[in-house]
Amino acid sequence: MKKLLIVLSAWMMLLPAGLTAKETFGFVDLGNNFRNTDAKNASPFLKFRDKNSTVKGDAAVSVYEPGRYFDVLFSDIAQDTAEYGLSGGKYEKYSYKFGYNGIVNNSTFGARTPYALRGTTLVYGVGSGSGSGNSKNTDLDNWGTIDYSKENKNLYADVKYKLNENMYFGLDANKVASSGIAPRYRYGYQVIDEDTTNVALEGGFKSDIFFASLKGTLSKFEQNITTYKAYAEGINVDAYGTGKQGSYQLVNDPSNDSLTVELSSALYNLPLSTTVALNVTRTSSTSESNMSDGQPPGGYANYGAGTAPNPNLIAALLTGSGGDALATYKGDHTYLTGNVIVKSNPISSLNTTLYYKYLDKKNESTHFYSSAKGESENFAYDKKNMGLDVDYKLPLSTKISAGYGQLKIKREDRGDAAKTDDKVISVGLRNDALDFISGGEKYTNTKRESTMGDAATEGSGPTDSAYIERFNRRFDDTDKKEKRLTATADLAILSDLDVTLEYSSVKNDYDKTTIGRLSDDRSIIFGQVDYALFSWMNISAFYEREKVQYLSKQRAMGTGAGFSYDPGAAATATTYNYDITYDDKVATYGAALTMKFMDEKLKTTLGYEKQDGDGNLNNAIQAGGSTTEGQPISDFGDYVLTRIKARFDYEISRDVSAGLRYTYERSRWEDSMWKVQTDGSSYTYDSAYADVNYVAQEIFASASYRF
Amino acid sequence: MEFVRKWFLLLPMVLLLLCYCNFSAAADPAAAPALPGIAAKCNECHELAVSRFEGSHHAKAWVGSDRTCTNCHGNADTHMSAGDGKNIISFKTKDKELREGLAAQCLTCHNTTAHLAMWNIGDHKKNGVTCVDCHNIHVPATQRIPTSETCLKCHKQVENDLRKQSHHPILEGKVGCKDCHNPHGTTNKHQLKAPTTNLLCYKCHTNKRGPFKWEHPPVEEDCLICHNAHGSRNDRLLKKKLPSLCIDCHANRSGSGTVFGHEDGLNTYSAGRGCAGCHSKLHGDNNAAKGKTFVY
């Protein structure tokens, strides 16, 4: 990073000498943030910002000479979110850009953890307290705290060159270094240390009648910490009375390579004003790792006093399907896709689009078998999507549209839906006849037929756990009837008053599902008003209400007499069906007022925004089932987020201006999931993602110079 | 101390940039090329438009060529002689039939531009969007607004999703609409830059690419089964709050507290991060010994 800054600084020092008397424009902005304590400690408020930096500086220079240009853009200088970019080129000949940018994603500040990091080993033993059996220390006051945050540092270069009017090629490359800490498995955490390198090379030809391009992209993901050890030691060992807690290894996402070759082509100006477009890609993704990753040397013999070695973790059990011992896992996915689109205008009022899209995902990864964990599943599928869309223009600026499409998917290794067949019909209407109002609507109906695979015959009988698979259907691939409606209207009631109205609704009925999601219903109403009240005043307001409702049927499995995986069996106090209704309403609304004073030298913007979410969960337990469970939860993700923003920009002279911004953000969550610290048995929650209650205030003062 | 350190780095860089001011001031206005003949004529009535255009990328690219106002606006002879503001190709026209021809006007020069190769089959053309709805030809290059800001002028519901607590950093300027979509058209649904959602997501989320020893079927098939790409009121762009999302597929469970709302309080499934609290490798697990549980 420092080297880069030195190079860039040197470049900038040299540039003026080489660019004397060229046209030069640019700006320098400098500012400083002042935040209250809540603002500093709330990760949602600083979600994509450098939490440690309050100084903000942006600067840019654009230089022109006949036929050439050169731009320098620096933003968030010296912050984790900095961007240092250089770009330039010769018009209609070549262009280049390269530089660096950083992205920060702050997930949680001050999450609790009983772990500490020693090298790449997580050591359980922060703080002190009491526990019993295998339970962890529930004395949260004695836990440590940790910030969950990820940072990407991206170095990039992009060059495009036109050999002549028709031919071009380009090179695009970047390297992303990711680091940080993420929550992992209850209250543990994971150190992120990953690198991704991408290189793409493209060449092509484009004329009035023909286009073709070939692009190859190589992407390499490197996991720098393949496995790491979480070791529970030390803390109140005697109090646990179980001896030394066992260690276990966590396995991270594997390094992988991906190679994509893409061919695109198009033919234009064919008879009937037809364009034919083609795109074919082949992507191969591979990974290689040890089968024994995750198994500590010597197995789990000391996983807990009196506990037998965990048979699941014995390497010898992991054998190939042919019975031979496996040392290495080789992941191998290949995606072959093909899209063909034929678009025509046989007559001026008629548009037709015929399409065929194909995807074949092959999975030739190592197929392994473990006597304890069963057989690995290599999911693969092929999709065929074809259809025809037609638009026809009627008098009075009216357009009608209709479409029919079919999507067929065949899946390997997915017993609940080996095949699905979607038939999609759509109709639409749009009218723009009047100057002050235009709008349209579109209705889409989807009917999916799903064919079960092995799941239809799973389980030897109602007491076999696999038997439930005969009834358990998944909403992403089961039979369904979907109705989708969208409607929009744009009104220009007065010359300076614009109104936008939008409505959308999606309803799914999973009509052949016994256990699983039975239906879902989502609707959104949106409206926005923009009004230029005077030449110096603008007011805008918006409102959106999103409402969702899901209904699903579940089955609680108990023990004893009447125990059955058959949802049709009579209910007992511990084995029964129940319906869950989850509904959620989110209203988002706000207003902004922009005013200009003093011959537009002073510009002020005042903004208000509020989000109000209300989630509810209700259970209806089958008659004869539990009488103690299934109480309604009224605060299932309730939240209120309020934002107030004020901004003042004053133009001191033609080149110099000053700005002042104030931001107030109040966030309040009422969520049953965060109200508990322990579940009453052995788990304690770490508060990852839970720093959502805050009242943040921030003042940002800046000065700007333009030249 | 942080304050001092950052400013210590920032100030020298800013001072360097300020050096450019001298060179800018040194530029001789008289050296600016005179307007070509027809442009000078246009300037008599459209002074503001012409002066703004001079700062645009087009004007810079055309220096030294014979291209001028009429290359875009068409022959202006009748327009000038009649003086009624008509008989000229206006890119601000609201006439629907005239609007349909505007893109063709741009394509007279840009017909060999490769990134417009799929314009004819794209959603924007289909829905009557034309070049100048997004591109302002007369705006000086230094005043151009970010691409995403342009997109969100029309895609207002997307903007609202981006305001929600979990979102891609598009409003923050760290990710752009064009990172995923090609507004000029592709052969893919929603003008995506990859033939499938997963292949698109894997471009940035390379760690999710696997291939993993244990795979989770919906993850392998389509990221959008569980996630909203633009933004969500739920954590991690999820379409539905955990654990409700998980149990829609994993619909049978055993043990006390199976049903949310147990009289003893919430349980392991439904407190904290829900199922993901323990099943933290649900995108795929490379620990062969753990089986299909995706825990650890």
HEC string of A51-66 equals CCCCEEEEEEEEEEEC
The predicted-structure confidence for A240-298, as pLDDT tens digits, reads as follows 333 334 456 788 999 999 999 999 999 999 999 999 999 999 999 999 998 888 764 33
Residue A321 makes CB contacts below 8 A (sequence gap 6+) with: A367, A368, A369, A375
In Å, how far is A559's CA from the nearest CA of chain B? Answer: 9
- Domain shared by B211 and B175, yes or no: no
- Domain shared by B108 and B134, yes or no: yes
Nearest CA in chain B to A170: B114
- Domain shared by B231 and B267, yes or no: yes
Nearest CA in chain A to B141: A62
In Å, how far is A503's CA from the nearest CA of chain B? Answer: 10
- Residue A247, amino acid: S
More confident of the two residues A68 and A306: A68
Please tell me the predicted confidence (pLDDT) of residue A269: 92
Report whether B278 contacts A186 (CB < 8 A): yes
CA distance A202 to A15: 31
Q: Do B207 and A16 touch (CB under 8 A)?
A: no
User: Would residue B224 count as lying in a domain?
Assistant: yes
Nearest CA in chain B to A356: B187
CA distance B224 to A601: 47
Nearest alpha carbon to residue A658 among A75, A191, A22, A28: A28
More confident of the two residues B289 and A389: A389
Whether A92 has a pLDDT exceeding 90, the answer reads: no
Residue A226 makes CB contacts below 8 A (sequence gap 6+) with: A251, A252, A254, A255, A289, A293
Q: Which residues of chain B lie closer than 8 angstroms to A582, CB-CB?
A: 240-241, 244
Q: Which residues of chain A lie closer than 8 angstroms to B214, CB-CB?
A: 376-377
In Å, how far is A630's CA from the nearest CA of chain B? Answer: 5
- Residue A677, amino acid: Q
Nearest CA in chain A to B207: A253
In Å, how far is A312's CA from the nearest CA of chain B? Answer: 6
User: Would residue B101 count as lying in a domain?
Assistant: yes
Mean pLDDT of chain A: 85
Whether A425 has a pLDDT exceeding 90, the answer reads: yes
- Domain shared by B244 and B279, yes or no: yes
Q: Which residues of chain B lie closer than 8 angstroms to A54, CB-CB?
A: 2-3, 6
Q: Which residues of chain A lie closer than 8 angstroms to B263, CB-CB?
A: 628-629, 631
User: Would residue B227 count as lying in a domain?
Assistant: yes
CA distance A183 to A193: 14
Cβ-based burial of A544 (10 A; exposed 0-12, middle 13-18, buried ≥19): buried
Please tell me the predicted confidence (pLDDT) of residue A301: 31
Mutate to test the interface with B, among A35, A673, A682, A687 (most CBs of B within 10 A): A673
CA distance B280 to B226: 15
Report whether A347 contacts A275 (CB < 8 A): no
Rounded mean pLDDT, A615-626: 91
User: Would residue B211 count as lying in a domain?
Assistant: yes
Which of A5, A20, A673 is opposite residue B270, by nearest beta carbon? Answer: A673
Give the pair of three-digit tokens for residue B69. Answer: 């106002």
Report whether A163 contacts A185 (CB < 8 A): no
From residue B17, alpha-carbon distances to A79, A556, B5, B20 in Å are: 18, 68, 19, 6
Please tell me the predicted confidence (pLDDT) of residue A129: 40
Nearest alpha carbon to residue A23 among B59, B24, B52: B24
User: Would residue B167 count as lying in a domain?
Assistant: yes
Confidence tier at A506 by pLDDT (50, 70, 90)? very high
CA distance A362 to A566: 35
Confidence tier at A310 by pLDDT (50, 70, 90)? very low
Whether A307 has a pLDDT exceeding 80, the answer reads: no
In Å, how far is A237's CA from the nearest CA of chain B? Answer: 23
User: Percentage of chain A surpassing pLDDT 90?
Assistant: 61
The full length of chain A comes to: 707
Nearest CA in chain A to B292: A373
Give the pair of three-digit tokens for residue A135. Answer: 């339970």
- Long-range CB contact pairs, A346-352, < 8 A, 24+: A346/A272, A346/A273, A348/A393, A349/A392, A349/A393, A349/A394, A350/A390, A350/A391, A350/A392, A350/A393, A351/A390, A351/A391, A351/A392, A351/B126, A352/A388, A352/A389, A352/A390, A352/A391
Q: What would the DSSP string read from start to end of A182-228?
A: EEETTTEEEEEEEEEEEEEEEEEEE-SSEEEEEEEEEEEEEES-SEE
User: Would residue B43 count as lying in a domain?
Assistant: yes
User: Would residue B80 count as lying in a domain?
Assistant: no
Local structure of A626: helix, strand or coil: coil
- Domain shared by B102 and B140, yes or no: yes
- Domain shared by B46 and B138, yes or no: yes
Which of B14, B20, B157 is opposite residue A24, by nearest beta carbon? Answer: B20
Question: Beta-carbon neighbour count of residue A597 at 10 Å?
Answer: 12
Q: Do B289 and A295 touch (CB under 8 A)?
A: yes
Q: Do B244 and A372 touch (CB under 8 A)?
A: no
Local structure of A41: helix, strand or coil: helix
Starting from the edge strand earliest in sequence, which strands make up the sheet with A121-124, in order?
A115-118, A121-124, A227-232, A247-251
- Residue A136, amino acid: K
Minimum mean pLDDT range among A266-280, A675-689, B250-264 = A675-689
Give the pair of three-digit tokens for residue A683. Answer: 């788990």
Which domain-ending residue is among B157, B173, B191?
B191
CA distance A33 to A55: 6
- Residue B257, amino acid: G
User: Percentage of chain B surpassing pLDDT 90?
Assistant: 37
- Domain shared by B238 and B155, yes or no: no
- Domain shared by B277 and B228, yes or no: yes
Q: Which residues of chain B lie closer than 8 angstroms to A351, CB-CB?
A: 126
Whether A697 has a pLDDT exceeding 60, the answer reads: yes
User: Percentage of chain A surpassing pLDDT 70?
Assistant: 83
Give the pair of three-digit tokens for residue A312. Answer: 């699941």
- Domain shared by B243 and B277, yes or no: yes
More confident of the two residues A621 and B144: A621
Residue A390 makes CB contacts below 8 A (sequence gap 6+) with: A350, A351, A352, A353, A401, A402, A403
- Domain shared by B221 and B271, yes or no: yes
Confidence tier at B25 by pLDDT (50, 70, 90)? very low
Please tell me the predicted confidence (pLDDT) of residue A315: 43
Q: Which residues of chain A lie closer than 8 angstroms to B187, CB-CB?
A: 264, 277-279, 339-341, 357
Please tell me the predicted confidence (pLDDT) of residue B161: 92
A1 DSSP assignment: -
HSE of A418, CA atoms in CB hemisphere, 13 A: 8
Give the pair of three-digit tokens for residue A149. Answer: 């945050």
Pairing of strands A188-206, A210-223: antiparallel
Residue A366 C-alpha from the chain's centroid: 29
The predicted-structure confidence for B115-130, as pLDDT tens digits, reads as follows 899 999 999 999 889 9
Domain that holds residue B49: 37-62+97-122+130-144
- Domain shared by B41 and B137, yes or no: yes
Confidence tier at A131 by pLDDT (50, 70, 90)? very low
Please tell me the predicted confidence (pLDDT) of residue A245: 45
Confidence tier at A426 by pLDDT (50, 70, 90)? very high
Three-state secondary structure readout of chain B: CHHHHHHHHHHHHHHHHHHHHHHHHHCCHHHCCCCCHHHHHHHCCCHHHHHHHHCCHHHHHHCCCCCCHHHHHCCCHHHHHHCCCCCCCCCCCCCHHHHHCHHHHHHHHHCCCHHHCCHHHCHHHHCCCCHHHHCCCCCCHHHCCCHHHHHHCCCHHHHHHHCCCEECCCCCCCCCHHHHECCCCCCCHHHECCCCHHHHHHHHCHHHHCCCCECCHHHHHCHHHCECCCEECCHHHECCCCCHHHHCCCCEEECCCCCCCCCCCCCCCCCCCHHHHCCCCCCCECCHHHHHHCCC
Please tell me the predicted confidence (pLDDT) of residue A144: 74
- In this prediction the ipTM stands at 0.90
CA angle A672, A578, A571 (to 5 degrees): 135
Please tell me the predicted confidence (pLDDT) of residue B256: 54
Rounded mean pLDDT, B223-228: 96
Rounded mean pLDDT, A164-189: 89
Report whether A706 contacts A27 (CB < 8 A): yes
Which of A16, A381, A672 is opposite residue B19, by nearest beta carbon? Answer: A16
Residue B195 makes CB contacts below 8 A (sequence gap 6+) with: A279, A281, A335, A337, A339, A357, A359, B187, B188
Please tell me the predicted confidence (pLDDT) of residue A184: 81
Whether B5 has a pLDDT exceeding 70, the answer reads: no
- Domain shared by B135 and B181, yes or no: no
CA distance A536 to A593: 11
Confidence tier at A317 by pLDDT (50, 70, 90)? very low
Whether A648 has a pLDDT exceeding 70, the answer reads: yes
User: Would residue B234 count as lying in a domain?
Assistant: yes
Whether A207 has a pLDDT exceeding 60, the answer reads: yes
Terminal alpha carbon distance of chain B? 39
Phi, psi of B148 (to 5 degrees): -60, -35
Mutate to test the interface with B, among A7, A9, A19, A28 (most CBs of B within 10 A): A28
Q: Which helix (H) or strand (E) holds A628?
A: none
Please tell me the predicted confidence (pLDDT) of residue B204: 96
How many separate domains does chain B show? 3
Minimum mean pLDDT range among A21-25, A298-302, A508-512, B206-210 = A298-302
Whether A126 has a pLDDT exceeding 70, the answer reads: no
Residue B193 C-alpha from the chain's centroid: 12
